[in-house]
Amino acid sequence: MDSFTAAAPAVPLRVQPETRDVNAYDDDPSLGALLGQYLSPTDLAVLTPALRRLGGLVGDRLDDLAHAADRNPPVLHHRDRTGDDRQRIEKHPAYVEMERLGFGEFAMAAMSHRPALGLERPVPHAAKYAVQYLFAQSEFGLLCPISMTDALTRTIRRYGDPALVERYLAGLTAETLDEQIQGAMFMTERAAGSDVAATVTRAVPDGDGWRLYGDKWFCSNADAGLALVLARPDGAPDGIKGVSLFLLPRDLPDGSHNAYRIVRLKDKLGTRSMASGEITLEGATAWMVGAAGQGFVQMAEMVNQSRLSNAVRAAGMMRRALREALAVARGREAFGRRLIELPLQRRQLMKLTLATEQALSMSMFTADALARADAGDDEGKALRRILTPLLKFRVCRDARKVTGDAMEARGGVGYIEEWIEPRLVRDSHLGSIWEGTSNIVALDVLRAARKEMAHVALAGALGVRMADAGVAEELRARLTGLLARATAAVDTAAKAGAEGDHRARAVASGLYHAASACVLACDGALLGDRRRTALAELVIRHKLTPRDPLAEHDHDLDAAAEALLLG
């Protein structure tokens, strides 16, 4: 079998192996193969130069910029040098250059809304998330403003007043950074984190618009040109039905700054390149988006897009972590042997590989479901509804372990901030918190099952897909049985209501692993790729089958590690 890494052969022995000369796109044959499955040959041919260009920046120029921006976080200035109250956030030149790459050259926030990257129409979702997957291998923080700008644009185009869309769409999709309007969402409050129903920010009618009063506790991309804000209009009922969605501009049409101020910036563990802050609304002008009392339903559009982006970013960080660990294992010698030749090291690398490849296949499958949903396909809508929280829950948690174990693979040097491993570890922890903690998104999986029977739709779609892909009959029978068990477990927990909530994480993990084994098996059959079929078997054995931890040996994992990693 071939290796998962195209650059596997002939890695020179080094004291500390580097990956600067590796193109992240060319080094990831799985990514190119899966894109060939979800994109037309013509689209893939047009997009490949941009993907390869970005792959060349990862580990080289983009790495240098990300490292500099991480070491030089943004600074909030409250006054100018004459003492006038003119708030501004000073961003390091490295971050600004990354903005030019992300928002400008690669049009990452705009590509779903206008032609980009050589295509004469908006870029398909599979390709958009492939770009994010590659970019995240060097820089996670900037992808938050990029994702929020994309999601804000999507949300106001769906729910906003046409006059607002006409006023701001050109800036949100501009080709140059100087013309670009970036987006954000100001949702959380000190006492209302994930409990949006507890929102206390006030909205007061003012002519054709509204005035907002209150504090927002965690506002990423704090100086964005536009933000979607949750607030409760005066007189609205308590609870979630009283919360509405508002579009808040940083600057008013006359050029003056809107009536809110940034109180301070957060001193974060990770994503230090990007400014997150606390904001006080002091009668800020805003416009209601959509119907009153439907704020969270409408904000969910933006949240779900951000959740999917979060999961894809986590998958990208896992891929980078795996690449670093493989480079060390192939390029470093200990005890007279290359590390990759040591059986215990191979087993650990195989575990990293399994989680990483699961995440990639599931990310592409979910992107395809989103494309189907956007086209009006009912099954696609159901799949998107359950796959988004499922992916965000499991992939973001897996990234924390994969990045940590990859840091260990480099040894003590991997703990030093000159290398990317510490930043991957720090950034990976955000995914399990941002846009809903693990508990919140696992419960959302149960809500999707309880309200929309989305788990049943997922099982049905995967059954058809396995048959159409030509998955071997014996393997398909085992996968069908495991998928049925996982679906039944979700069903039982969902129907139990609050009594079943304590099972949310366990049954969500089971459904993710069963679904990912099916998707890997389909990928293997459709692509003629024995590696992905072997990975499906490993998911069955190591994620879905009870094992005795004191058993003498897991020969299948050793055999897979030798075949898939050594080639």
Tell me the DSSP string of 26-87. TT-HHHHHHHHHHS-HHHHHHHHHHHHHHHHHTTTHHHHHHHHHHHS--EEEEE-TTS-EEE
Whether the Cβ atoms of residue 230 and residue 244 lie closer than 8 Å to each other? yes
Q: What angle do CA 150, 154, 158 make, to 5 degrees?
A: 170
d(CA 62, CA 54): 9
Give the other-Cβ count within 10 Å of 74's Cβ: 19
H-state helical runs in 332-472? 343-374, 378-410, 421-431, 438-452, 454-469
- Nearest by Cα to 304 from 189, 362, 387: 387
d(CA 111, CA 150): 8
Whether the Cβ atoms of residue 135 and residue 62 lie closer than 8 Å to each other? yes
Q: CA-CA-CA-CA torsion for 140, 73, 89, 248, nearest 10 degrees?
A: 30
- Largest Cα–Cα distance of the chain, in whole Å? 78
Tokens (6 digits) for 103: 């928002």
Burial of 157 (0-12, 13-18, 19+ CB in 10 A): middle
d(CA 87, CA 90): 10
Q: Kindly report whether the global pTM for this prediction surpasses the value 0.85.
A: yes
d(CA 359, CA 269): 24
Tokens (6 digits) for 567: 């080639």
Residue 260 C-beta-side C-alpha neighbours within 13 Å:
31
What confidence score (pLDDT) does residue 548 get?
82
What phi, psi does 226 have (nearest 5°)? Answer: -140, 145
Listed in order, strand segments (DSSP E) in 173-258 are: 183-186, 202-206, 209-220, 226-233, 244-249
Residue 229 C-beta-side C-alpha neighbours within 13 Å:
37
What confidence score (pLDDT) does residue 566 get?
64
d(CA 156, CA 164): 8
Q: What is the pLDDT along the chain (567 residues), one digit of tens a residue?
A: 344 665 454 556 667 898 998 999 999 999 999 999 999 999 999 999 999 999 999 999 999 999 999 999 999 999 988 888 889 999 999 999 999 999 999 999 999 999 999 999 999 999 999 999 999 999 999 999 999 999 999 999 999 999 999 999 999 999 898 899 999 999 989 887 778 889 999 999 998 899 999 999 999 999 999 999 999 999 999 999 999 999 999 999 899 999 999 999 999 999 999 999 999 999 999 999 999 999 988 888 888 899 999 999 999 999 999 999 999 999 998 888 999 999 999 999 999 999 999 999 999 999 999 999 999 999 999 999 999 999 999 999 999 999 999 999 999 999 999 999 999 999 999 999 988 899 999 999 999 999 999 999 999 999 999 999 999 999 999 999 999 999 999 999 999 999 999 999 999 999 999 999 999 999 999 999 999 999 999 999 999 998 888 877 666 667 776 676 765
Residue 388 three-state SS = helix
What confidence score (pLDDT) does residue 302 get?
84
d(CA 4, CA 288): 49
Listed as own residue / partner, the contacts of 58-62 with beta carbons closer than 8 Å and 24 or more positions apart are 58/23, 58/24, 58/134, 58/135, 58/137, 58/138, 58/320, 59/19, 59/20, 59/22, 59/24, 59/137, 59/138, 59/320, 60/20, 62/98, 62/101, 62/135, 62/138, 62/139
Tokens (6 digits) for 522: 């389909």
Q: What angle do CA 351, 142, 95 make, to 5 degrees?
A: 120
> At 219, which amino acid appears?
C
In angstroms, how far is the first alpha carbon of the chain from the final one?
Answer: 6
Residue 280 C-beta-side C-alpha neighbours within 13 Å:
5
Whether the Cβ atoms of residue 213 and residue 222 lie closer than 8 Å to each other? no
What confidence score (pLDDT) does residue 91 get?
97
Tokens (6 digits) for 38: 């979800």
CA 384 from centroid of its chain's CA atoms: 14
Residues in contact with 140: Cβ distance below 8 Å, sequence separation at least 6, in sequence order: 270, 271, 313, 317, 427, 430
Residues in contact with 451: Cβ distance below 8 Å, sequence separation at least 6, in sequence order: none
Where do we find the tokens 């509804």?
A: 385
